[in-house]
Structure 1
């Protein structure tokens, strides 16, 4: 089977920094929306949603047949790991489609603790070639957000 037969269509994943922005992204035709999770987003608290707001965003996305991805793309310190995993577990329970993570160790940890939860490697991992993509797949990532500098061909 050739690679073209194994590839899935890309997902249009739009950013949103508020519940209103989630609604706008869905109205514009996004297949899925991603939001930062307050306390764990590298984009800062100003544009991150609380777990309660993420639960509301999941409901909005479900109404439109779209998915919601939550970015937890900071690296927890050793003492923060239980709280981090608790947050990820809560998000899975809310129906979040995937978590976006930016560290191989964190990806591996979440995969081990929540084996069926979809994990996306963040654009922050800067995957530029197939060997790097395979590395993140082997760590447990199901998908990768590619950098905008990467072009086909």
Structure 2
């Protein structure tokens, strides 16, 4: 059965997309997602959005889809624990270590392998399914034959992006922005923010589009 998933960068955006036909919505946990900072949500905003989605019988997914350092996994689990306690069961991840840690701590959660995983074929999908993913986001240029093969041979849920950032290479595999400019800062929770690395910090300077 097809599901219409929309993005929500603010509580108001979440309400609008759910009120206008989306079956589910995803949001970025502040400091942990591939979304720009102004379109990420703090914990209370995530929880408020989840409660609203639940009131409509719909689903909210939380993205932790940057690549954490090993020392940051406990921080991720602590934040996820707060969300799980509020009934949130769907998480979008890129890092296989984070997938393993999350599923071990919270059995039964749904793991969605992010666009940052760069899943381009059935074997990629199989790898992430074996790593705990229940659904995979396919690479933006994947054709329908490969999607059909994944469904038939791997038996994992498939998410197809209708609106997405067009990357010069593959989303999740480009490091060009990091070489041009990279800054980092540690927030009050101890999370390191890598600005300029879409994989580590979520922010790409899109230098492939300049000049």
Fold conserved between structures, TM > 0.5: yes
Cα deviation, residue 60, structure 1: 1.1
The answer on 1:10 being equivalent to 2:5 is no
Alignment correspondent of 1:120: 112
Which one has the largest radius of gyration?
Answer: 2
- Aligned mates of 1:61, 1:100 — CA distance in 2: 17
The match for 1:145 among 115, 137, 142 is 137
Moved more, 124-133 or 52-61: 124-133
2:40 to 45, 48, 55: 48
Output one character per residue of 1:88-138: Cα deviation in whole Å (capped at 9) or x when no partner: 111111122301001122112212221211111001111122111111010
Runs (4+) off by over 3 Å: none
In the alignment, which residue of structure 1 is the partner of 2:60? 68
Distance in 1 (CA, whole Å) between partners of 2:105 and 2:89 is: 16
User: Would you say how many aligned residue pairs link Structure 1 and Structure 2?
Assistant: 145
2:68 and 2:95 in contact (8 A); partners too:
no
Deviation, structure 1 residue 36: 0.2
Q: TM-score, normalised by structure 2?
A: 0.65
3-state SS in 2 of match to 1:20: helix
> What 5-or-longer segments of structure 1 have no aligned partner?
1-8
Unaligned runs of 5+ in 2: 146-211
User: CA-atom RMSD, angstroms?
Assistant: 1.3
Q: Helix, strand or coil for the counterpart of 1:95?
A: coil
Distance 2:5 2:131 in 1: 22
CA distance in 2, matches of 1:87, 1:44: 19
